[in-house]
Amino acid sequence: MADRKKQVAYIDGLSSVRAVRRSGRNADGTHYRPSSEKLPVVETPSDPQPVKPAKRIGQTALPAKFNLICYECGFRFVISGALKDTLCPKCHAVLSARDHRINSAWSGVIRTVGTVSILPGANPEGGSITTRLLVLEADAGSASLTVTDTLELCTGGSFDPTRASLQDVSVRADHCVLVRQRLQCRNLDLHGELTADVAVTGLLTIRAGGCLRGSAHAAHWTVEEGGGVCARMTIAPGEPHAPATGDCTPTPPRKNSSRKSK
């Protein structure tokens, strides 16, 4: 790299001839005095510049993707980037992406592709909620719930599964949730503890620190090291069967009880 930076010196023809004559047999002649012309000097940088590494291209973050379902026509589509009000590609309805937080008495209709949080202190008195993501930290009461992506359950969160249309369900880490009716969903992801009778048409995942009590029917399941199972399990493809009489009464969650790990 440093060699490339050396300057190349060129001398013209006349200077070449004079130089040859000075160095040859006539160099001592009086006719050929030392030339007053100075040949260009090739300068060698005494302190060569350090070679800098080529600039790296920084890592590029892929934009977030959101799986949306139009709450007007049910069309599924994906958007990238920031989640904001968007048009349904099929029916051209404007879909709100507004987030809602309910922390007091409430009744009404919410339809959004954003997030709805039912916080401690909330008291939904009926009403209807259609949302992409629902965070449940309190009793949803008799509200009708339609969750097009994920229902996130926290301690204190409860709802009536017979009034809910769900896709994926997760339980937050360090939270204990009790669902008294049969919980039916597509995928179930347990970071915390769930006591319920669950019917999972997709994948049941029990993470480290998570625990399932009660009974479960799932098409597939995986238990990470540190995950606990204290439930009657049925792993079989296809639609889960209805529970036999008396099967759907999960025991309430017990703190600090022993877990049977897989």
* Closer of 2 and 91 to Zn ion (Cβ): 91
Site for Zn ion in 30-69 (CB under 5 A): none
**Cβ 130 to Zn ion shortest distance, Å:** 13
Beta carbon nearer to Zn ion, 72 or 139: 72
Chain centre distance of CA 143: 30
Of 138 and 147, the one with the shorter C-beta distance to Zn ion is 147
Residue type, 83: L
In the bound state with Zn ion, the residue whose beta carbon lies nearer, of 75 and 163, is 75
Q: How far is CA 202 from each of CA 186, 188, 229, 244, 252, rounded to the nearest angstrom?
A: 5, 8, 18, 21, 25
- Longest CA–CA separation in the chain, Å: 128
Rounded least distance, CB 75 to Zn ion, Å = 5
Q: Is 238 helix (H, G, I), strand (E, B) or coil?
A: coil
Closest approach of Cβ 186 to Zn ion, in Å? 21
CB of 95 to Zn ion, least distance (A): 8
Q: Give least dist CB 71 to Zn ion, A.
A: 8
Concatenated DSSP letters of 116-146: EEE-TT-EE-S-EEEEEEEEESSB-TT-EEE
Cβ distance to Zn ion smaller for residue 93 or 203: 93
CB 78 → Zn ion: shortest distance, Å? Answer: 14
Residues 41 and 9 sit within 8 Å (Cβ to Cβ): yes
Please choose, from the candidates 190, 110, 123, 128, the residue with its C-alpha nearest in 3D space to the C-alpha of residue 156: 123
Give the total of residues touching Zn ion (CB under 5 A): 8
Do the beta carbons of residue 176 and residue 196 sit within 8 Å? no
Q: Rule CB under 5 A: which of 72-131 touch Zn ion?
A: 72-73, 75, 88, 90-91, 93
Residue 19 host element (H or E): helix 13-23
179 binds Zn ion (CB under 5 A): no
Spatial distance between the Cα atoms of 74 and 133, rounded to a whole number of angstroms:
16
Strand partners, 184: 199
- Judged by beta carbon, residue 70 or residue 145, the one nearer Zn ion is 70
**Contact yes or no for 232/212 (Cβ under 8 A):** no
| CB 174 to Zn ion: min, Å | 38
The answer to whether residue 173 forms part of the interface with Zn ion (CB under 5 A) is no
Question: What is the sign, positive or negative, of the torsion defined by CA atoms of 229, 232, 238, 242?
Answer: negative
Q: Which is nearer to Zn ion, 17 or 73 (CB)?
A: 73
Cβ-based nearer residue to Zn ion, 70 or 129: 70
x/- site string to Zn ion, residues 2 to 21, per CB under 5 A?
Answer: --------------------
Quote the least distance from Cβ 97 to Zn ion, whole Å: 14
For position 70 contacting Zn ion by CB under 5 A, the verdict is yes
Report residue 18 as tokens: 């004079």
Q: Please report, as ranges, the residues that interact with Zn ion according to CB under 5 A.
A: 70, 72-73, 75, 88, 90-91, 93
